[in-house]
Structure 1
Amino acid sequence: MNILEHRALRGPNYFSRYPAIFMRLDIGELEERPSDLVPGIVERLTALLPTLQEHRCSVGRPGGFLERLERGTWAGHVVEHVAIELQNLIGFSVGYGKTIDSYDAGIYSVVYRYRDEACGLAAGVESVDLVEHLFCGEAIDLPAILGRLRQVRDDHMLGPSTAAIVNAATQRGIPHTRLSEENSYIQFGHGHRQQRIQATVTGHTDLISYGIADDKEWTKQVLGDAGIPVPQGRVCSAFEEALDAVHAIGYPVAVKPVIGNHGRGVSTNVEDDQALSDAFNIASQRNSSVIVEQYIRGEDHRLLVIGGKLVAAARRRPAHVVGDGVATLQALVDAENRDPRRGVGHENLLTQIKLDEQSLRLISQQNLSLKSVIPAGEIVFLKPTANLSTGGTATDVTDDVHPEVRYVAERIARLVGLDIIGIDLLAETLTKPLEEQSAAVVEVNAGPAFACTFRLPTGSAAMWVAR
């Protein structure tokens, strides 16, 4: 068989009001061999894909497709049903399909619905190969086929924040189109009313505001000038400048690249010159300009403001393990990474803990090694920052936010000018005003991950994007 044309129909189309995959297929010599001329084909296909029993086909009842297969149908029709079922087996619920013959012998138009474009196209290619092997009586490795399709699914999966907005929009009847299979570039609606997002950055996000959020020193200047508490600090381009900054500020300090995200290159609670040198080298690998600033003691919090309103808040803690009195530190980390909630990048709610140079420094500061047995109940922190992207955890504290803290968060969003903003706040608690405690805003984020707030504010984000 030979695929002559294969493409995605992304909206209502000639064949269906649903997004569908269109395939123009030449079945070649199989035009002369409908399924009733292939001994044992029903039994083989049923054993391979038993869930095909649920396909009604034109008969209109469960098992209808298998009846058609037994009475005799062509390979193109079988490709349609196999492509549908392969998608179901990797987690995409689809059911619509049709196969239309043409004036040219052996040429068929195969149409089937998809949920994910890349997976729909890949399922079509795999189904053609599978059906050809089926009609020729050759062996079929279904686990390998499903493995390849799952890899395509995982490679093109939307992140949890983007998927949350898409799901909320779908619930409100707002159509969406994925404009790139390589990233989270999404269009909502059509025509002049359409809106677009890239992850949680929207078409309303101001370019200057995005630049402010991307530059930590610029952020501190904007907020500090407005009376928002921020850590005292300096921008340094050499280690000698960092030493001068520490002499003015005093230890402990935090060291971070001027431009960066996900806590990369950040060191906290730096208490001596050697640790400062190590931290400066780590940060300068990310950016030639490095901020050395006052270390603020307190819990790490993420505040999420959408459309000028605080919608979620979380208390975050760096990646850590809790000892049991038996296991070594390395074994505890391995056990934590086996938690099914942890994945690579943003694919799951939590991220796998990866031990790096900063992790080993923190472990050493606690007079431990990876071979140390941790006493029962003792907490060992493994990262200097509480970003979920580095293995941190979050607890929803939205209902505990003091009205004055809420006002400050919403004011910060107005000062920076972002429609969706994540505010990183170090504070003892969110239950009392910031001026009554040790507290400071250390960073703001454009396009923040909603998972960082634990309570996914999908409705707020969807309505803001669609406004």
Structure 2
Amino acid sequence: MKPHSNLPHPHNQRLLRGQTPTYERLQARLAGDHTESLGPLILQCGWGRLLIGHTFSSPDKLAAELLNEQPGERDIALYVAAPQQVLAHAPQQLFLDPSDALRLWFTDYRPARRPFRGFRIRRVHSDDDWAAINRLYLSRGMLPVDPSKVTPRHQGGPAYWLAEDAETGTVIGTVMGINHAKAFRDPEGGSSLWCLAVDPQSSRPGVGEALVRHLIEHFMSRGLAYLDLSVLHGNQQAKSLYRKLRFRELPTFAVKCKNGINQSLFLGPGPEQGLNPYARIIVDEAHRRGIEVQVQDADAGLFTLTQGGRRIRCRESLCDLTSAVSMSLCQDKTLTHRALDRAGLRQPQQRLAGSAEENAAFLEEHGALVVKPVDGEQGQGVAVDLRTPEEVENAIAQAKQFDTRVILESYHAGQDLRIVVIGYEVVAAAIRRPAEVIGDGRHSIRKLIEAQSRRRQAATGGESRIPLDGETERTLAAAGFGYDDVLPSGQRLAVRRTANLHTGGILEDVTERLHPTLADAAIRAARALEIPVTGLDLLVTEADQPDYVIIEANERPGLANHEPQPTAERFVDLLFPLSRELLHRDNRDQPHPNEEAPA
């Protein structure tokens, strides 16, 4: 890749490496190249503005422009050489972003030694592409893009790329890049990376790395010299990738406006910092509405919400509005079965585990069974599609580790559907798919599972992982594999039979195409249990078909991972009806999109 003639000589590059980007240095370089300066550069990215700090002639001008941040947008000023001078002009409104700036000089770059398979990278070129990117951003808690606001590329604006699965065409990653030479005639030939995001549900390895490499190689082909990025100081997963690619720290800073959603960055972690994602999503929504939050036990997910004279205790989505009787009806699966049976809802045949002879007779009657503890959650002790008496008895012994009472149910093939009902209305529906891995022809299945499990843990705040236990081993054996076998390149293999999120399962939102019969069954089940917040688990042929059996009701459904459906919003609506926001949801405070780790 031939370097651009205006770029600094390699010897001068070494001199530039330790230098902080400043207005004075930029103007001197432009003058030396007899290039006219464009003045302060502001680029609209669709989620907010990028202010290129060293194109501003004074700290007060940069501070004043930052304060023009619009509601519902997130601005950031990068390349700020003297942040203390900027903050001095508006200390109550601005703060120093706790991010590290990193730079990769392209002379240090080394191409990948292995090909990335199973997906392709291309430019965004349609409304469907933007919609897919925004679904991905929302799933990562990021602000969506309004493409109508983006500065055009011929004016130096950003370019967006996406990664799509080669089999399904699903968008599984995205990244944004800016060519500094186009944007402000950068004499150093720089570029920058923003908004890297990878679908946490994707089982394709290396998507984040491939997107970063694609951007590097694209800008190298344009004759540029380096790529910069900003990453939160504590984002170790992203920083480990960047270290591998030979990025180095750059002595410059970023400044942002203070707002409700990024207050943890300038106030420090509060008591809610230790909450899991299922409690945190509710607490964050409460904060947005000005509802007081008191955390009693972060590890247990216990907190209290107060607004005016109304006070409600919660354990994640289980709250004071759910009665003890309704909770017990959900916890005891035999009581759940009887309550839903009285409501005329379709369910598997069920009985308590008895003697080996009784269990074998029930197996013979139905051909295949499911074994689960009477009182259990998160898929613990559940075994499915058991076809021999030996498998049934072994599964019963495992289930008894979680409850002395064990139930047997007739096995029904189908897709695992979770429907979240809040206030007796369907708020979200998602197909839950069991954990799977995709072979690369090199690594053992054990290594593939461990890598996929790490990605799931990182994407869910540690809530989802694939256990290397007897159930996983049995699932592999049924498919003719063992932990140490090497899966052929491109072959998909399910490694769990249950689709529980806590054991590595993934969610696909199907709310918009949910069949009315399924929605009606979920609402009838919630009313039969007299529970205002519940997650109904069904087995269905397809989300848009009417066939179903209800297999479980959860009194404390996880509200996270159902993006873009407003589960937390509807939950807080139920608790505090007067707090319903009048503004459109897109105009609220949301996280800034450059603060995501690659998966």
Q: What is the TM-score when the length of structure 2 is the normalising length?
A: 0.51
Aligned to 1:285: 401
Q: How does 1:26-425 map to 2 (within 5 A)?
A: 56=88, 93=263, 115-117=269-271, 157-190=274-307, 192-247=309-364, 249-339=365-455, 341-343=456-458, 347-348=461-462, 351-425=464-538
User: What displacement does 1:245 show?
Assistant: 2.2
1:181 positional shift: 4.1
Partner of 2:525: helix, strand, or coil?
Answer: helix
For 1:391 and 1:277, the matched residues in 2 are separated by 25
Q: 1:216 to 1:296 in 2, by over 3 A?
A: same
User: Does the aligned pair in 1 maintain the 2:359–2:389 contact within 8 Å?
Assistant: no
2:568 aligned partner: 458
**Structure 1 contact 175–188 (Cα < 8 Å) conserved:** yes
Asked if 1:449 corresponds to 2:566, the answer is no
> Does the 8 Å contact 1:166/1:462 carry over to 2?
no
- Distance apart, 1:427 and its partner CA: 0.6
Give distance in 2, aligned partners of 1:404 and 1:446.
Answer: 22
Cα deviation for residue 326 of structure 1 reads: 3.1
- Asked if the contact 1:239/1:280 (under 8 Å) is kept, the reply is no
User: d(CA) in 1 for partners of 2:387 and 2:84?
Assistant: 65
Once the two structures are superposed, what CA deviation does each residue of 1:127-170 show, in whole Å capped at 9, x if it has no partner? xxxxxxxxxxxxxxxxxxxxxxxxxx5xxx21222211122222
The structure with more helix, counted as a fraction of residues: 1
**Separation of aligned partners in 2, 1:95 and 1:428:** 46
Correspondence for 2:252: none
Q: Write the distance in 1 (CA, Å) between the matches of 2:415 and 2:359.
A: 26
Displacement, 1:115?
4.6
TM-fit CA distance, 1:174 = 2.1
Say if 2:366 and 2:411, in contact at 8 Å, map to a contact too: no
Structure 1 residues 296 and 89, CA gap change in structure 2 (3 angstroms): same
Q: Is the 8 A contact 1:306 1:419 kept in 2?
A: yes
Deviations 1:379-418 (A, max 9, x none): 2222231110111111111101012221111111111111
Deviation at 1:378, TM superposition (A): 2.6
Shift of 1:369: 0.8
CA drift of 1:254 comes to 0.8
Are residues 194 and 405 of structure 1, via their aligned partners in 2, closer, same or farther at CA, if it must alter by over 3 Å? same
- Displacement of 1:338 in angstroms is 3.7
Listed one character per residue, the Cα deviations across residues 316-362 of structure 1 (whole Å, up to 9, x for unaligned) are: 111111223333211211221342x5249x625x6122211111111
Structure 2: which amino acid aligns with 1:176?
V
Which structure's relative contact order is higher, taking Cα pairs within 8 Å and 6+ residues apart?
Answer: 2
User: Which stretch of structure 1 is more off in the superposition, 354-363 or 306-315?
Assistant: 354-363
Distance 2:527 2:394 in 1: 37
Shift of 1:114: 5.4
The runs of 5 or more residues in structure 2 that have no matched partner are: 1-81, 96-231, 236-261, 578-599
Q: 1:218 & 1:397 partners in 2: Cα distance?
A: 29
Partner Cα distance (2:429, 2:94) in 1: 49
CA separation of 1:58 and 1:162: change in aligned 2, threshold 3 A: closer
- 8 Å contact kept, 1:233–1:245: no
> One-letter code of the match for 2:508?
T
Distance in 2, Cα, partners of 1:415 & 1:457:
22
Q: Is the 8 A contact 1:284 1:290 kept in 2?
A: yes
Unaligned ranges ≥5, structure 1: 1-49, 64-87, 97-112, 119-152
Cα distance in 2 between the residues matched to 1:423 and 1:94 = 34
Q: Which amino acid aligns with 2:306?
A: G
Offset, 1:61:
11
Amino acid at match of 2:396: F
1:13 equivalent in structure 2? none
Q: 1:326 to 1:114 in 2, by over 3 A?
A: closer
Code of the aligned partner of 1:347: G
Check 1:335–1:170 CA distance in 2 against 1; reply closer, same or farther (3 A cut).
Answer: same
Distance 1:393 1:319 in 2: 7
TM superposition shift of 1:288? 1.7
CA–CA separation in structure 2 for the residues paired with 1:433 and 1:236: 31
Counterpart CA distance in 2 for 1:62 and 1:441 is 52
Match of 1:85 in 2: none
- Take 1:195 and 1:283, find their aligned partners in 2: how far apart are those partners? 34
Structure with the greater alpha carbon radius of gyration: 1
Whole-Å Cα distance in 2 between the matches of residues 309 and 57 of structure 1? Answer: 49
Q: Distance in 1 between matches of 2:315 and 2:281?
A: 13
Task: Report if the CA contact (8 A) 1:421-1:448 is conserved.
Answer: yes
Larger deviation: 392-401 or 52-61? Answer: 52-61
Gap change, CA 1:234 and 1:178, over 3 Å in 2: same
The offset of 1:256, in angstroms, is 0.8
Q: CA deviation at 1:54?
A: 7.3
CA contact (8 A) 2:352 2:405 kept: yes
Shift of 1:451: 2.8
Partner of 1:28: none
CA distance in 2, matches of 1:59, 1:317: 49
In structure 1, the residue matched to 2:40 is none
Identity of aligned residues (%): 28
Distance 2:282 2:486 in 1: 43
Cα displacement string for residues 199-219 of structure 1 (whole angstroms, at most 9, x for unaligned residues):
111110011110010011111
Q: Which contiguous aligned blocks of 4+ residues in structure 1 show a shift greater than 4 angstroms?
A: 50-63, 88-92
Return the letter of the residue paired with 1:458: A
Q: Measured at CA, do residues 227 and 328 of structure 1 come closer, stay the same or move farther in structure 2, by a change above 3 Å? A: same
Deviations 1:91-111 (A, max 9, x none): 974699xxxxxxxxxxxxxxx
| Mapped contact 1:421–1:447 kept (Cα < 8 A) | yes
Q: Which AA in structure 1 matches 2:574? A: W
